[in-house]
């Protein structure tokens, strides 16, 4: 399993969220505290962030561990943002795609990450794959389960679904096709954060009207972190956080 984090709030240096806190994503890459599956998240990392006046985010992704990347040390000091999504990866299966398989995945204003694994992939999702237009399969960002889940979400967003509907419906259809999958999804457009808790840990910390952080696990011991129950959809903005139970598909 990977670890991921998204933020909306006042402009901060990337390092304020990703490196400086005692249990920031940087440290979670070798010493996560609450990860339920896997140990070290060293198979790539990525950060996507929004710059003022530009709705389309920039990404910096690399195939190796975040702790070994000196470029990221510099970037995280000089880049400032008021919205980001970042992830460190523990690959479920070996694959050739390296950096391309590291979240966040992106399309137009959206950034996306998947913390988990699709059981029986790719065979278990063949009916869902068949439902996608060939052009969307040819533009898969990578050949792994998360890139396919992202293609399913992206397809729903392109059809006009909002973030919460796209994530909830994708989780339910994938869980039905591939039961016992772990599907913690995280999506932002720089104004909202949508996430699901489905098989691994999810937390948030909100200062209403100021900032919202949604993360696989708390990056410090601040008592204001709240744990999201499993099987839940989280929909957040800078002002509020809404939790809605997700119903397990019946077999
Ligand atoms: N299954 C995804 C991958 O292989 C996500 C991995 C994870 O959550 N560790 O990249």
Q: Is 38's C-beta closer than 6 angstroms to any atom of ligand 1?
A: yes
Determine the average pLDDT of the residues in 118-125: 96
- Residue 224 belongs to a domain with what CATH number? 3.60.20.10
Q: What is the predicted pLDDT for the residue at 244?
A: 98
Question: What is the share, in percent, of the chain residues with pLDDT greater than 70?
Answer: 99
Mean pLDDT rounded to a whole number for the chain: 96
Across the range 211-225, mean pLDDT stands at 97
Residue 247 predicted with pLDDT over 90: no
Q: What is the DSSP string of 11-34?
A: EEEHHHHHTSSTT-HHHHTT--SS
Q: Which protein residue's CA is at the shortest distance from atom 10 of ligand 1?
A: 91
**What does the pLDDT read at residue 249?**
75
Residue 145 has pLDDT above 90, yes or no: yes
The domain tally of the chain equals 1
46 lines ligand 1 (CB under 6 A): no
Q: Is 117 in the pocket of ligand 1 (CB under 6 A)?
A: yes
Q: What residue numbers bound the domain in which 130 lies?
A: 2-245
Q: Which residue lies with its CA nearest to atom 9 of ligand 1?
A: 1
Predicted pLDDT of residue 1: 53
Measured in whole angstroms, the distance separating CA 212 from the mean position of its chain's CA atoms is 15
Domain-embedded: residue 250: no
Segment 137-153 shows an average pLDDT of 96
- Spatial contact of 26 and 66, defined as CB atoms under 8 Å apart: yes
Cα angle 159-107-61, degrees, rounded to a multiple of 5: 155
User: Tokens 């990221």 label which residue?
Assistant: 72
Q: Rounded to whole angstroms, how far apart are CA atoms 169 and 175?
A: 10
Q: Tell which wins on pLDDT, 250 or 197.
A: 197
pLDDT digits (tens, 9 = 90+) for 19-39: 999 999 999 999 999 988 888
Residue pair 227/162 in contact by the 8 Å Cβ criterion: no
Within-domain flag for 251: no
Asked whether residue 103 is domain-assigned, the answer is yes
2 is catalytic: yes
Tens of pLDDT, residue by residue over 60-88, are: 999 999 999 999 999 999 999 999 999 99
Do the domain assignments include residue 162? yes
Helices (H) and strands (E) in the chain, counts: 7, 13
Q: Which atom of ligand 1 is nearest to the CA of 145?
A: 1
Q: Is the CB of 145 under 6 A from ligand 1?
A: yes
Asked whether residue 129 is domain-assigned, the answer is yes
- At 193 the pLDDT is 98
Tell me the C-alpha distance between 25 and 23, whole Å.
7
């Amino acid at each position: 399993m990977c670890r991921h984090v998204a933020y909306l709030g006042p402009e901060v240096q990337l390092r304020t969220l990703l490196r400086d806190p005692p249990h920031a994503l940087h440290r979670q890459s070798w010493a996560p505290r609450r990860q339920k599956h896997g140990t070290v998240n060293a198979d790539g990392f990525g950060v996507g962030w929004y710059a003022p006046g530009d709705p389309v985010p920039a990404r910096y992704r690399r195939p190796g561990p975040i702790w070994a990347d000196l470029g990221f040390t510099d970037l995280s000091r000089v880049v400032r943002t008021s919205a980001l999504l970042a992830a460190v990866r523990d690959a479920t299966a070996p694959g050739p795609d390296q950096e391309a398989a590291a979240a966040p995945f992106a399309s137009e204003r959206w950034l996306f990450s998947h913390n988990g694994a699709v059981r029986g992939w790719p065979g278990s999702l063949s009916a869902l794959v068949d439902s996608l237009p060939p052009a969307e399969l040819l533009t898969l960002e990578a050949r792994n389960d998360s890139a396919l889940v992202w293609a399913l979400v992206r397809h729903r967003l392109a059809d006009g679904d909002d973030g919460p509907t796209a994530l909830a419906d994708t989780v339910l259809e994938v869980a039905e096709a591939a039961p016992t999958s772990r599907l913690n999804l995280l999506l932002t457009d720089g104004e909202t954060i949508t996430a699901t808790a489905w098989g691994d840990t999810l937390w948030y910390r909100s200062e209403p009207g100021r900032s919202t952080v949604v993360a696989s696990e708390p990056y410090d011991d601040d008592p204001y972190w709240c744990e999201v129950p499993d099987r839940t959809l989280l929909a957040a903005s800078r002002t509020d956080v809404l939790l809605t139970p997700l119903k397990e598909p019946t077999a």
